[in-house]
């Protein structure tokens, strides 16, 4: 995602298998459990049906950036706040 101050911010984009899914919080929790620091966590999330690809099968990042700027895709802002705490 474009950012005026930093140039870009990280967006977690996934394609789920048919019938599968997960919330942004579940995916961030998985990244946390795998050892990703909270400072390296994605700041945006989007579930997509397909990615724009080159003829050799690589993801066209510049096309995704164009889609986000034009509003064709709308990643949602997310923030890792830590695992859910049990209520007392």
The end-to-end CA distance of the chain, in Å, is 38
Q: Domains in the chain: how many in total?
A: 1
- Residue 87 in any domain: the answer is no
Total length of the chain: 88
**Residue 12's domain is classified under what CATH number?**
3.30.300.30
- Residue 82 in any domain: the answer is no
What pLDDT sits at residue 84?
61
- Residue 85 in any domain: the answer is no
Alpha helices of the chain — where are they, by DSSP H? 24-33, 61-70
Specify burial of residue 28 (Cβ count, 10 A radius: 0-12, 13-18, 19+). Answer: buried
From the list 69, 8, 85, 16, the residue with the least C-alpha distance to 43 is 8
Task: Categorize the per-residue pLDDT at 82 as very low, low, confident or very high, splitting at 50, 70 and 90.
Answer: confident
- Residue 50 in any domain: the answer is yes
Per-residue pLDDT tens digits for 3-51: 778 888 889 999 999 999 999 999 999 999 999 998 899 999 999 999 9
């Amino acid at each position: 995602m474009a950012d005026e101050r930093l140039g870009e911010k990280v967006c977690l984009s996934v394609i789920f298998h048919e019938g599968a899914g997960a919330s942004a919080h579940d995916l961030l929790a998985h990244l946390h459990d795998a050892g990703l620091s909270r400072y390296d966590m994605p700041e945006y999330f989007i579930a997509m049906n397909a990615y724009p690809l080159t003829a050799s099968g690589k993801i066209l990042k510049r096309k995704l950036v164009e889609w986000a700027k034009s509003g064709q895709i709308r990643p949602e802002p997310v923030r890792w706040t830590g695992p859910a705490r049990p209520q007392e």
